[in-house]
Structure 1
């Protein structure tokens, strides 16, 4: 078990998750273009580039977290995706969206708290 993550590492983890969420933004832009049109290829290419950058950064970030903590925190991607949908695409956010994000955030908190309060069982 790793030590408690530093605040700086948690911020970096969230930035990496935001980068991952941006790939969905590019996918949405690409989906609004004609298949294989120059804009479609551009947005699709940017999406692949973002995913490549994300993969490299993710490998570096998980060095500082237990894997269970890092993956639980990826659920914050839901929050970032809804924020992007609201501000970039002007999509409507429903009460159910907010409730769902709230449930996911509660789950993240529970997983994070469990990891930090569980006794060390390594012998």
Structure 2
């Protein structure tokens, strides 16, 4: 595997970790739809804690692979994943401003992730 393929693989793994983090917000939103301390509330709240725990363990491994500034820049894609989950799970509308904002964030991430020439 050449260097570019290795970097791409690492970025994809980082994105998978960020997806896990973003799913914690989905579980929290589902939990908020139920009465406090009801069985479904506790189930979704437990799922949120599980996602956050798995994310915390995996994040520690990611910051070993990346410069801290690069890892945190990539974490901004949480906004993209949250928008995707809002549409898929909650049927929320996406505005043009949402799309423009996400495109600006993605452009910044692409610039930061480029190899120095």
TM over 0.5: yes
- Determine the structure 2 residue equivalent to 1:56: 57
Alpha-carbon distance between aligned partners in 2 of 1:54 and 1:117, rounded to the nearest angstrom: 29
Q: In proportion to residue count, which structure has more helix?
A: 2
- Does structure 1 residue 17 correspond to structure 2 residue 6? no
Alpha-carbon distance between aligned partners in 2 of 1:112 and 1:6, rounded to the nearest angstrom: 9
Displacement after TM superposition at 1:89 (Å): 1.0
Displacement after TM superposition at 1:117 (Å): 2.5
Q: After superposition, what is the alpha-carbon deviation per residue over 1:41-95, rounded to whole angstroms, capped at 9, x for unaligned?
A: 1101110111000000000111111111000000111111111111111111111
- Does structure 1 residue 42 correspond to structure 2 residue 43? yes
Q: Give ranges in structure 1 of 5+ residues lacking alignment.
A: 119-123
Structure 1 pair 52–71 and aligned structure 2 pair: CA distance change class (3 A): same
Displacement after TM superposition at 1:110 (Å): 2.7
- Determine the structure 2 residue equivalent to 1:31: 32
TM-score (norm 2): 0.90
Q: After superposition, what is the alpha-carbon deviation per residue over 1:12-38, rounded to whole angstroms, capped at 9, x for unaligned?
A: 000000000000100110011111111
Alpha-carbon distance between aligned partners in 2 of 1:87 and 1:112, rounded to the nearest angstrom: 28
User: 4+ runs of 1 displaced by more than 3 Å?
Assistant: none
| RMSD, aligned α-carbons | 1.6
Alpha-carbon distance between aligned partners in 1 of 2:105 and 2:52, rounded to the nearest angstrom: 23
